[in-house]
Amino acid sequence: MSQSFRDSAALAAHFPFDNSYARLPAQFFARQTPSNAVSPQLVKLNEALADELGLDVEWLKREAVQIFSGNLVPEGADPLAMAYAGHQFGTFVPQLGDGRAILLGEVIDRNGRRRDIQLKGAGETPFSRRGDGRAALGPVLREYIISEAMHALGVPTTRALAAVTTGQPVYRETTLPGAVFTRVAASHIRVGTFQFFAARGDTDGLKALADHVISRHYPHVRDSVRPYLALFEAVTERQAALIARWLQIGFIHGVMNTDNMTVSGETIDFGPCAFMDAYDPATVFSSIDRRGRYAYANQPAIGQWNLARLGETLLALLDPDLDKAVELANEVIKGFGERFQTHWLGGMRGKIGLATQEDGDLDLIQALLLFMQAQEADFTLTFRKLCDLAESSSNKAIFIGSFKSAEAAEPWLARWHERLARDPQSAAKRAKAMRLINPAFIPRNHRIEQAIVAAVDDSDFSLFEALLTVLAKPYEDQPSFAPYARPPEISERVLETFCGT
Ligand code: AMP
Ligand code: MG
């Protein structure tokens, strides 16, 4: 054994792994060692997250490039590719699985939360089908930026721990630099994981999975009269809350297949996702979403559709009488609409500065959205400028000046002021609360594209770093980053995104 290998193996004990998924039955996964990278280089290590995970950051900085390229499997890891199925654009595929992702293991973080650490792009697995198991640098940077931005925006999401280039090319439409992304998640269990077992009629596997998910994500349902029904309700509730948050920040996931929907309630899979600039509910960015199945405003309905697929897999666990099981599942699925509406309306009230509730609020909010759509108003800036207007009427000119027709805003503003008069908050307090939920900065598509082009074409990561810096504090004005708040010029617009597989 060489000196360097022994040293790193000893130091690698710094990962406090406890791999509960690897202890599940054999049909849940395939063990798989990551492939080597020829000449890996560290692009980014998320030191704050590493610290949160309970890792020794100084040690990790020395080892990061080897560990996060897949070259060094840290002690205690039990690398594996997870099995799952999924509906892709409505069509069921009984076996997908981690074709380019390898779960190293789980750690319990400083807050006592169990977190998965997964390499994405570290080589082929038994689930790779025709894929190469690799990732290109562009999509890796995109996921890094957007998942960290989502976290800073306060939206449940998987996180970015590291990005590494491999020194090897990957072949897509063109030859691109290869990279590995390290993802941290509450778990990587998806609706499609349940579908994998249901499709095989493997009720034992399904039950083992459901029990694992309960103990990991929803321990409180264990004592319910019907724990699996309570589990289904709890997942439905978290997804309703999550999708409402997406809509409130203008996020479009882009590929809400059932294999890309977690049961933990975290946003996962940032392939073709993008944030909307001008408000239009029909907005679609993904190049492969030709029919707009996953358009901005379709996301709640698709969330419900995906949850119905989850409900189907649980029938055998809900009740021995199939009719009864279907009835129970249907009730939960139907309840999604109300759950979503409650979260959405609550959040939208906050966005326009209301701390109280009145029946007419929904109408007032919809009137603003219709107006914004007609005016092609920037979603993020409209709400941010409304914060300023809530603080002082002296900011009115700036608010109405951002619309194509300034006078057109008057009727809505009159209604809003009338409503605010019945909402007992000081202007200063209201504006402060509004600024905590209406971001000044979002990961705008054109900025991401510019950062990727500079990194891929010129190995220049300065734009990537700048984006990470500004997006870490999306609710602060940060005047030195003012240009990052602006929507793209017409020439800068990026209207299409790609899943990057
Ligand atoms: P995604 O579109 O990223 O959600 O991936 C859908 C499925 O395709 C999953 O089973 C992935 O593991 C698989 N996949 C995507 N890209 C690759 C790749 N480059 N090599 C192998 N499998 C892949
Ligand atoms: Mg996926």
pLDDT tens for 112-153 read 999 999 999 999 999 999 999 999 999 999 999 999 999 999
Distance 170 CA to ligand 1 centre (A): 14
Rg of the chain over all Cα atoms, to the nearest angstrom: 23
pLDDT interval class at 27 (50, 70, 90):
very high
Mean per-residue pLDDT, 449-466 = 97
Distance 322 CA to ligand 2 centre (A): 31
d(CA 121, CA 136): 8
Q: 480 is written with which tokens?
A: 């030195």
Q: Which of these is catalytic: 259, 269, 361, 378?
A: 259
Which residue minimizes the CA distance to atom 14 of ligand 1?
A: 99
Which residue minimizes the CA distance to atom 5 of ligand 1?
A: 501
Distance 98 CA to ligand 1 centre (A): 7
d(CA 447, CA 463): 8
* Residues 42, 166 contacting (CB under 8 angstroms): no
Q: Are strands 101-108 and 41-45 parallel, antiparallel or unpaired?
A: unpaired
Minimum-distance ligand to the CA of 120? 1
Which residue minimizes the CA distance to atom 21 of ligand 1?
A: 131
Q: Is the pLDDT of residue 213 over 60?
A: yes
Minimum-distance ligand to the CA of 139? 1
d(CA 57, CA 333): 44
For 341-367, how does the pLDDT look when each residue is reduced to its tens digit (9 = 90+)? 999 999 999 999 999 999 999 999 999
Q: Which residue has the tokens 């002296």?
A: 394
For 221-276, how does the pLDDT look when each residue is reduced to its tens digit (9 = 90+)? 999 999 999 999 999 999 999 999 999 999 999 999 999 999 999 999 999 999 99
Q: 108 is written with which tokens?
A: 């319990």
Determine the atom of ligand 1 nearest the C-alpha atom of 260.
4
d(CA 395, CA 194): 52
**Is 458 marked active-site?**
no
Give phi and psi for 234, each to the nearest 5. Answer: -65, -40
Q: Is the pLDDT of residue 2 over 80?
A: no
pLDDT on residue 11: 39
Determine the atom of ligand 1 nearest the C-alpha atom of 130.
21
d(CA 110, CA 105): 16
pLDDT on residue 4: 40
Determine the atom of ligand 1 nearest the C-alpha atom of 170.
19
For 41-71, how does the pLDDT look when each residue is reduced to its tens digit (9 = 90+)? 999 999 999 999 999 999 999 999 999 999 9
pLDDT on residue 3: 39
Ordered DSSP codes for 145-184? HHHHHHHHHT--B-EEEEEEEEEEEEESSSEEEEEEEEEE
Distance 333 CA to ligand 1 centre (A): 28
Q: Is the pLDDT of residue 7 over 50?
A: no
Give me the sign of the Cα torsion angle 175, 181, 186, 188: positive
Determine the atom of ligand 1 nearest the C-alpha atom of 271.
3
Which residue minimizes the CA distance to atom 12 of ligand 1?
A: 99
Distance 3 CA to ligand 1 centre (A): 38
pLDDT interval class at 501 (50, 70, 90):
low
pLDDT on residue 9: 41
Q: Residue 458: in which H helix or E strand, if any? A: helix 445-458
Residue of 100, 125, 176 best suited for mutating to test ligand 1, as the one with most atoms within 8 Å of CB: 100
Q: Which residues line ligand 1 (CB under 6 A)?
A: 96-100, 127-128, 131-134, 255, 259-260, 269, 271, 499, 501
pLDDT on residue 406: 85
Minimum-distance ligand to the CA of 100? 1
First-to-final CA distance of the chain: 38
pTM: 0.96
pLDDT on residue 282: 97
